[in-house]
Structure 1
Amino acid sequence: MRDVIFVGTAVTRPGAVGTLYRLRAGGEWETAEGIPADAAVQAVTPHPAREDVVFAAARKGLYRSTDAGETWSRIDVTDEDVQFWTVVVSPHDPDVLFAGTAPVGFHRSEDGGETWKKCEADHPERFDMSFGGSRVMRIAFHPSDPDVLYAASEVNGFLVSEDGGRTWRGEAEGILALAAQPHLKNTELTDDDREGMFDGHSVCTTPARPDSVFYVGRLGIFETTDRGKTLRDLEVGKSAPFSYTRDCRVVAGRPESMYACFSISSRSEAGALYRTHDLGETWEEANPGVLAKSTMMGFGVHVSDPAGVVAVTRHGQVFYTLDGSETWHEKQLPSDAGDAFCGAIL
């Protein structure tokens, strides 16, 4: 582990910096060379097989570093006017990548990001939202079948591909069934009380239970074993004081262990990172004593070392551990940084 931390921010107020910040543990924050101050970085993805390669998905483009984040260059993906919200590398082939966009769309590369092809996505907008079209927040591969992929859309639910990501469909059956339950009716942006269940933030898979997918969103974490046709509520609110969930990730080398970040809502004054060692049946606070003063918006785990984790709050608090959650360090982003949305660690 190199003890290098990345945090992405967005321009969320006049004069704010929405770029990628880089920190060597114990040092000071620096802005990334090659990523504009108004790029709005939404996801940072270290390549799992190439230690010097890192990708950053931003609302104003997709970026790549080949020197462990020292310098960055923009990748030409498409001429369409889209925002990039996520990028993922296949665990089955290190040259295969997917980038997810807003409005909902997918782009596939088979040569490490040099060239890209747009995929087909049958996923019309379900709601009329004030911020525009929904976006692909996270993409996950089936652990053993390279033809099967999953995605979460904000605010448009769960998607599935069964042909290696070339075509995608929305799978709403399981979401609609849960959205009919009184305690899972929720609305913030529309007058449709099914909205909350369709507010997907992430998807997560693990070799410990290959056919399971964990669908993460506004109302908690839900597990499906039949590609979205039915969903089981993990009821994370029984373990944590809040259940608004932004992300869930498996710990390297420990397929039954996961981290997830919980808060009250998208804009709140509290949040915490939790972990489970039994695939979500029980949860415990990963960083007890750490006081998050705003919503915990994202986090990253090291691709091969279970000791490395970094978590970020909307208002720029950054917490990281280099020893598997035994001790935590806090490093606030500079005062002119925009809202923080994602973190990663090399």
Structure 2
Amino acid sequence: MNMNNPAANPLGRRHVLAMLGGVAAAVLLPALRARAQGIVAPALAFDGDALVVAGAQLWRHDLSGGASATLATPRAHIRALACHPARTGRLFAALDGGGLDRSDDGGRTWRAASGGLPQAQVAALAIAAGAPDTLYAAVAGDGLWRSEDAGESWSFVMDRPWIAEAEREVLTLASVNLASGMGGIWIYAGTERGLTRVPDCFCRWQDVVAGDAMDALVAGTPPAPEAPLPEGDPVLALASAMAAPERLVAALPSGLWASTDGGVTWSRVSNIAASVLAIHPTDPNRIAAATVNGVLLSHDRGTAWAALSTT
């Protein structure tokens, strides 16, 4: 079948890719994440000062008081979680095999929130930094979808990123409120072949560059960053700091990398092999990471780590 020829594809690209998305998720995404040496907790999210962890069970840990509580589980195992500090208690969960659930009580009860999404694996979730009712979902084998009503309805907004002569799977998403000359709101995507981003006008995926993004787009030849992430490596997890939007943390097979300028330059801060990351909404120095050794917590932007008990 010629996927580039609409006449030769009467089912439509969206429909065919939705059918193939489950296959892509089942084969490609676990293989890439396995490069992080295993997954103990496939999803993490800060809900206010509590860390919500999806593992064999769903639980939340109060970082201020130290108490832990087991939560109700959605319809299926969780692959990704998203929460926004302006909507404390509201959680979104991408489910294994496809679909989303929503909780409005901190994970104690759940309901479906995927009306209009393809029946394929949602590989990554992010909530818009400046619009807590706007949600982005990366659908495996398909592209980027958006809900502007907290998951009640969804629409397709962007194909997968084109990197190194092919469309690439999105493994992780982060919304960053960073003034850059194109509206200020960016959706960053970690892919199987590196980092990219798109403004919320969804004009095109592009490299992360210094300075005004519109000027760089018009010039057509933006300067190469001085210290980028390792070229071509998969970005397994990506997290942004709501309280400090210029700060990003990324998990690669080579370790944990950090940026203090919106992803233009990066430095490796730790050799831990993380599969999932989350940054505290009001304290950007506090980072949670899921590793093969369990859930770890850092209070110094990722330099030193301590295990977080899940019991």
Structure-2 separation of matches of 1:344 and 1:159: 35
* Residues 298 and 215 of structure 1: CA distance in aligned 2, closer, same or farther (over 3 Å): same
Match of 1:338 in 2: none
1:215 Cα offset (Å)? 1.7
What is the DSSP-based 3-state SS (H/G/I as helix, E as strand, rest coil) of the residue aligned with 2:197?
Answer: strand
Structure-2 separation of matches of 1:237 and 1:272: 19
* Residues 261 and 92 of structure 1: CA distance in aligned 2, closer, same or farther (over 3 Å): same
Cα distance per residue 1:150-182 (max 9 Å; x no partner): 123445432211222212234343x2xx53x6x
Structure 2 residue 242 is matched with structure 1 residue 256: no
Structure-2 separation of matches of 1:319 and 1:61: 17
* Residues 155 and 298 of structure 1: CA distance in aligned 2, closer, same or farther (over 3 Å): farther
Match of 2:144 in 1: 158
Which residue of 62, 70, 74 maps to 1:73? 70
1:117 Cα offset (Å)? 2.3
TM-score normalized by the length of structure 2: 0.66
Contact conserved, 1:85 with 1:101, CA < 8 A, in 2? yes
Structure 2 residue 298 is matched with structure 1 residue 328: no
Contact conserved, 1:148 with 1:164, CA < 8 A, in 2? yes
Structure-1 separation of matches of 2:154 and 2:309: 27
Q: Which has the higher strand share?
A: 1
Structure-2 separation of matches of 1:222 and 1:206: 12
Which residue of 94, 100, 105 maps to 2:99? 105
Structure-1 separation of matches of 2:269 and 2:239: 13
1:204 Cα offset (Å)? 0.7
Structure-2 separation of matches of 1:208 and 1:94: 22
Match of 1:273 in 2: 256
Contact conserved, 1:298 with 1:312, CA < 8 A, in 2? yes
1:65 Cα offset (Å)? 4.7
What is the DSSP-based 3-state SS (H/G/I as helix, E as strand, rest coil) of the residue aligned with 1:280?
Answer: coil
* Residues 318 and 85 of structure 1: CA distance in aligned 2, closer, same or farther (over 3 Å): closer
Cα distance per residue 1:69-95 (max 9 Å; x no partner): 6543241534xxx22112222322213
Structure-1 separation of matches of 2:297 and 2:90: 29
* Residues 165 and 229 of structure 1: CA distance in aligned 2, closer, same or farther (over 3 Å): farther
Structure 2 residue 282 is matched with structure 1 residue 304: yes
Unaligned runs of 5+ in 2: 1-29, 209-223
1:237 Cα offset (Å)? 11
Match of 2:124 in 1: 138
* Residues 309 and 233 of structure 1: CA distance in aligned 2, closer, same or farther (over 3 Å): same
Match of 2:236 in 1: 246
* Residues 146 and 309 of structure 1: CA distance in aligned 2, closer, same or farther (over 3 Å): closer
Structure-2 separation of matches of 1:207 and 1:277: 14
Structure 2 residue 190 is matched with structure 1 residue 204: no
TM-score normalized by the length of structure 1: 0.61
1:141 Cα offset (Å)? 1.7
Structure-2 separation of matches of 1:245 and 1:157: 17
Match of 2:4 in 1: none
Cα distance per residue 1:215-270 (max 9 Å; x no partner): 2221212111135452113388962334310122123632211111223xxxxxxx
Structure-2 separation of matches of 1:324 and 1:18: 22
Q: Any residues of structure 2 matched to 1:81-100 within 5 Å, and which?
A: 82-100=76-94
* Residues 320 and 62 of structure 1: CA distance in aligned 2, closer, same or farther (over 3 Å): closer
The letter for the 2-side match of 1:324 is: R
Structure-1 separation of matches of 2:241 and 2:86: 18
**What's the Cα RMSD here?**
3.8
* Residues 122 and 42 of structure 1: CA distance in aligned 2, closer, same or farther (over 3 Å): same
1:311 Cα offset (Å)? 4.5
Match of 2:45 in 1: 45
Unaligned runs of 5+ in 1: 1-9, 20-40, 126-132, 186-193, 264-270, 332-342
Contact conserved, 1:218 with 1:244, CA < 8 A, in 2? yes
1:214 Cα offset (Å)? 0.7
Contact conserved, 1:91 with 1:141, CA < 8 A, in 2? no
* Residues 330 and 282 of structure 1: CA distance in aligned 2, closer, same or farther (over 3 Å): same
The letter for the 1-side match of 2:228 is: S
1:320 Cα offset (Å)? 6.0
Match of 1:118 in 2: 112
Q: How high is the sequence identity, in percent, across the aligned residues?
A: 20
Aligned residues: 255
Structure-2 separation of matches of 1:321 and 1:54: 13
